Structure formats: C-alpha cells, structure tokens
C-alpha cells in the first residue's frame, strides 16, 4: 500500500531504472554503487529460479533428470526467453502467468483439503502433531513477526523491476492502478499458497521423507511440499494446472530479475561509460 503513493511520482519522473533515480537525487557515484549492488543481488535471485526449476523438472521426471541438469535446462529457457522477449513481452507474459497462478492455487486448496478427508481432519492432524502451526504467530512474539515482515516490506520498496514497470506505464494513473492489482493478486496468491503448505503438512505428517531422524522437519523436502501435493495428491488436471502455475512463478521471477540486471548493465555501465551516444534501441 505504501508503494501506491510512490508509483505516480516514479512515473512522472519517468526514468528507466532505480539507479537513474539515485543519480537524479544524489550523484553518479551513488548510481554506480547502486548498479553494482543490484547486479549482484538480482543475478543471485535469478539463480534461485534456476535452482527451483531444476527441482521442478526432477520431480516431474521422477528423478530421471537430476536437479542439477534440470537447473541447467531452466537457466537456458529463462535466459533465452528474457533475451527474446523484452519488457513489453515480459509484461504480457506476467499477465498470463498471474491468471494461471491464481486459478491453479484456488483449485488446489479445496482439492488438497478434500484429499486429507476435509478441514476437520486437517485441523485434527495438525493439533495432534504441532498445534502452533494453526496459531496466528506460530508461538512467536510480535517482534519476531515484524522481523519476518520487514525484509519483504523493504524489498518491495526497493524492487527495481517494479520501478521499471512504473516507468513503462502509460501514465501516472495507470501506475497507481497497477499497484492495486498487484496488491490484490499478492494477497490472494500468498494466502492460498501458505494455506496449501499448511494442509500439505497435515497430508505428509506421517511421511518419513519430510522429517529427519530426530523428528524435525526436513527443510529441503518442506520446500517442495506444494509441488508434492500437486504431483502426488491432486487429480491430473488440477495437478497439471498447479505445475503450470509453478512454472509461471519461476519464469516470471527469473526473467524479471534478468531484465532488471540487463537494463542496469546496458544503461548504467555500457551507455554511461562505453558508448555514450547509444540510442534506446
């Protein structure tokens, strides 16, 4: 909601990158430092998508393709798509991706609950295993919750791809409308995604793959719980939609982060220091 009040101002300034704003407000040194930071951070974040895609492919092929090979395949596909697409295509793809994500999540949640025998069965299982998972703060105090919220809040406020898309908006009004759409979409998707994960805990509460010898949760498997629910517990059509939604998330995030990095390299390094007369094209 805070970003809503920033969007129109960013569009009116109409710069290409977040670092353009740094230079306008401070100086070129601030711009260069910001560029270096963004390139490192966003390349690492894009790498997470390659890794996620690798796990994805490994699950779908039941281990016939290793996560490492799958990671390479994901990297090639996401980089290729980013190179070929450009900002206009990526925004169009994101609209399609967003629709697929919401439909897939909304269908998966009731089917996941039903696969475990209904909501009462889900609650009973979690209460028997770890009732804290059903509480608002999960046994933590308010400061812990703020600590969890703060990084996401700061990330969104400094999210370069968001600022790039504001600058690409038709006008300031369009940028503000986009934030409202983003707000609604994120709240719906994140809530349902968390709910599916909680239901997944109930479904796999007795599955040894998800727990270590001492009874603690196997974090590597826990990261796959939504995909496992889709692959192992859903009807084929719903499971396929969920995996399509997962692909949408990976591709959307990967190409957005690569687009941010490439735009910063092109404008803030290449155009600034190497070829100053370079046109936008």
Mind listing the pLDDT tens digit for each residue in 100-152? 888 988 999 999 999 999 999 999 999 998 888 778 787 788 898 888 888 77
Please provide residue 171's backbone torsions phi and psi, each rounded to the nearest 5 degrees: -160, 180
Residues forming a β-bridge with 217: 211
Mind listing the pLDDT tens digit for each residue in 247-261? 888 888 888 888 888
Mind listing the pLDDT tens digit for each residue in 153-205? 777 776 777 777 777 777 878 888 888 888 888 888 889 999 999 999 999 99
Nearest to 81 by CA among 222, 262, 204, 281: 262
Whole-number Cα distances in Å, 151 to 146, 148, 231: 9, 7, 31
| pLDDT-derived band at 210, boundaries 50, 70, 90 | very high
Length of the chain: 281
Provide the CB-side half-sphere exposure for 113 (13 A, CA).
13
Q: Which residues contact 112 (CB under 8 A, 6 or more apart)?
A: 196, 199, 200, 203, 229, 233, 234
Whole-number Cα distances in Å, 239 to 107, 221, 223, 245: 9, 18, 17, 10
d(CA 237, CA 223): 23
d(CA 35, CA 268): 7
């Amino acid at each position: 909601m805070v970003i809503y009040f920033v969007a129109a101002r960013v569009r009116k300034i109409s710069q290409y990158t977040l670092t353009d704003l740094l230079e306008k407000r401070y100086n070129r040194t601030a711009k260069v430092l910001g560029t270096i930071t963004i390139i490192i951070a966003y390349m690492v974040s894009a790498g997470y998508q390659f890794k996620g895609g690798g796990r994805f492919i490994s699950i779908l092929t039941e281990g016939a393709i290793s996560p490492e090979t799958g990671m390479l395949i994901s990297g090639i596909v996401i980089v290729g798509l980013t190179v070929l697409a450009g900002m206009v295509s990526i925004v169009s793809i994101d609209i399609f991706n967003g629709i697929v994500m919401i439909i897939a999540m909304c269908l998966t949640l009731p089917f996941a609950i039903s696969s475990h025998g209904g909501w009462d069965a889900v609650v009973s299982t979690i209460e028997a295993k770890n009732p804290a998972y059903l509480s608002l703060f999960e046994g933590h105090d308010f400061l812990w919750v703020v600590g969890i919220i703060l990084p996401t809040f700061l990330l969104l406020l400094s999210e370069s791809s968001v600022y790039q898309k504001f600058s690409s908006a038709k006008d300031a009004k369009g940028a503000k409308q986009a934030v409202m759409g983003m707000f609604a979409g994120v709240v719906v998707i994140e809530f349902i995604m968390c709910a599916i994960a909680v239901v997944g805990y109930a479904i796999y509460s007795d599955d040894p793959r998800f727990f270590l010898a001492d009874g603690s949760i196997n974090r590597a498997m826990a990261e796959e719980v939504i995909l496992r629910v889709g692959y192992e517990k859903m009807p084929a059509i719903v499971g396929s939609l969920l995996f399509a939604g997962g692909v949408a998330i990976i591709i959307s995030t990967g190409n957005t982060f690569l687009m941010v990095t490439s735009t910063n390299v092109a404008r803030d390094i290449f155009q600034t220091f190497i070829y100053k007369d370079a046109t936008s094209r």
